[in-house]
Structure formats: C-alpha cells, structure tokens
C-alpha cells in the first residue's frame, strides 16, 4: 500500500510540474509540441516494450476492429487534452488548466451517471451542484465559460471512461494510441521539416533535447500511475489526484504571477468545497462498506 501511494503521488506530482517543462519550449508552436509528444512517446514506449519483450498483446489487438475503434477515439481525446493543456500553459493560463483537473473527478461522476447509468448518492449530487455553482460564478465573473478548464476536464474524463472499459493496460494502451496517431504526426512533422517551417531540428541543442524528452516525460508518470493504482484503494487514489492541480495552481500564482482576483477565488472555493464533500463522502461510504 505504501509503495503504491508513493508511485501514485510521484505520478501526480510529475503531472503537477508539467508547466515547468512546457515553459522551456514556449517558443515552439503548441501544435508542433503535440506532434513531438506523440512521436517521441511512441519511440519511448517501443523501447520499453522491447526491453521487456512484451509484444504478445499487439497482434491479437490489431485483428479486433472494435478495440481499434475504441483506442482511436481515446487517442483523439488524448490529443485534444494534450493540445489544450500545452496551449494553456504557454499562453499564461496555468491556473485555468489547474481548474480543469480540479473539476475532472466530478466530471467522472457525471459521466458515470449519464453514460454508465451509475446511481449517485445524495452527497455526490450536492458536490455536483456546488461545482456547477462554481463554474456558473466563474462564467459570470469572466463573461464567458471557463472553456480551458471545461475542455481539459471533459476530454480527460471521456478519455478515462474509454480507458476504464478498455482491455489493455497503461503501457500497451499508450503504445496503441501513439501507434494510431504516429503516422499522421510523422507525416506532418516531415512536411514541416521539408518546407523549413519546423522548429526541429533547432539550431540550439537544448530545444532539441527538450522536444525529444517529451517521450519519457509523457510516459513515465503514466507508468507510475498505473503501478500505483494497482496497489492502493480508489479512495486513496482519489485523494492523491489533487496533488497535480494543487501544484499547478501554486505555480500559476507564485511563479508565473497569473492574476487571481477575490471574485475568482470564490468560484474556485465553491469547486474546492465540492471536492471536499465528494472526497469525504467517498471515504465515509468506503468505510461503511468495509464495516
């Protein structure tokens, strides 16, 4: 249990400090960063699979159209999530991105209710109501929907739903997703490099190194998360997941000095209260089930 908690905490902490990485390549267009993230993630996971000689799953999967269709959908959702997040970080919206991952657990509850027809308990409905109030307040205060947060939460929530019913583990799933995306990504990157519009290869070594590092930087937290999730309860995992957006919020406030007014704090406060209600109810329900 303690080892699993460490693995999961490290994964969420790594996701929390992602803005520090993307700021190193802020001069690279968001779309190009996404392309590199796909390509180098595939290279990294293929190396890991080769070292582990873990290829037995691939051939049967390629013969299953329904599995390929499901993973094509999850790959597209993952791309939307990655692109939105990269754009948000590199355009001064780290706090908005953190809000998306604070909202994400409640989006998962809502998707469970609407798609999987799971029954919600009263306190879960209360948490959803509080979160909706927070989003409504932020919309009124800003004059528009917090689209970055909602895009991140909804895309990752839908991605998680697809992966919840998937037949592959984290490493195999990421490999298949990047395999499906890589042909288009490699073609686009090749065209950009041919016509001279690509940043890569850059004249400076650090930019090239940071772009290639997108592979392990993407895959390692996912593998840590998978290792941790197998060893700890969902309640513990649910509490640990707030590490990531909390670190992102702190970076947005104190390192990147993004604006955060008192009116905006009220909207965040309602969402944090919703998360507190949701987490406490989940912990209490888990305890009562064990009793």
Of the two residues 228 and 15, the one the predictor is more confident about is: 15
CA distance 241 to 121: 21
Supply the range of the domain harboring residue 85.
Answer: 2-290
pTM of full prediction above 0.95: no
∠ CA 145-147-153, nearest 5°, is: 120
166-211, pLDDT tens digit by residue? 778 888 988 999 999 999 999 999 999 888 888 888 888 999 999 9
Number of domains in the chain: 1
Mean pLDDT across the chain, nearest whole number?
A: 89
CA distance 283 to 277: 10
Query: Per-residue pLDDT for 1 more than 70?
Result: no
27-80, pLDDT tens digit by residue? 999 999 999 999 999 999 999 999 989 999 999 998 999 889 999 999 999 999
């Amino acid at each position: 249990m303690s080892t699993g908690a460490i693995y999961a905490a490290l994964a969420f902490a790594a996701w929390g400090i992602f803005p520090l990485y993307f700021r190193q390549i802020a001069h690279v267009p968001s779309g190009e960063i996404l392309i590199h993230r796909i390509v180098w993630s595939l290279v990294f996971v293929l190396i890991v699979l080769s070292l582990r000689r873990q290829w037995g799953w691939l051939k049967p999967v390629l013969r299953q159209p329904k599995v390929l269709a499901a993973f094509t959908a999850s790959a597209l959702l993952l791309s939307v999530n990655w692109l939105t997040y990269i754009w948000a970080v590199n355009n001064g919206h780290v706090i908005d991105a953190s809000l998306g991952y604070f909202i994400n657990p409640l989006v998962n509850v809502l998707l469970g209710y609407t798609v999987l027809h799971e029954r919600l308990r009263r306190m879960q409905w209360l948490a959803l109501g509080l979160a909706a109030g927070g989003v409504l307040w932020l919309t009124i205060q800003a004059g528009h929907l917090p689209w970055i947060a909602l895009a991140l939460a909804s895309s990752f929530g839908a991605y998680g739903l697809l992966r919840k019913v998937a037949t592959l583990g984290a490493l195999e799933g990421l490999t298949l997703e990047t395999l499906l995306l890589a042909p288009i990504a490699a073609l686009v990157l090749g065209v950009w490099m041919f016509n001279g519009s690509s940043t890569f290869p850059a004249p400076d070594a650090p930019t090239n190194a940071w772009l290639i590092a997108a592979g392990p930087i993407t895959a390692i937290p996912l593998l840590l998360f998978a290792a941790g999730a197998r060893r700890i309860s969902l309640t513990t995992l649910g509490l640990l997941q707030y590490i990531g957006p909390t670190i992102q919020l702190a970076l947005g406030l104190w390192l990147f000095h993004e604006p955060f007014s008192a009116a905006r704090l009220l909207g965040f406060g309602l969402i944090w209260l919703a998360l507190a209600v949701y987490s406490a109810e989940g912990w209490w329900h888990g305890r009562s089930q064990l009793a």
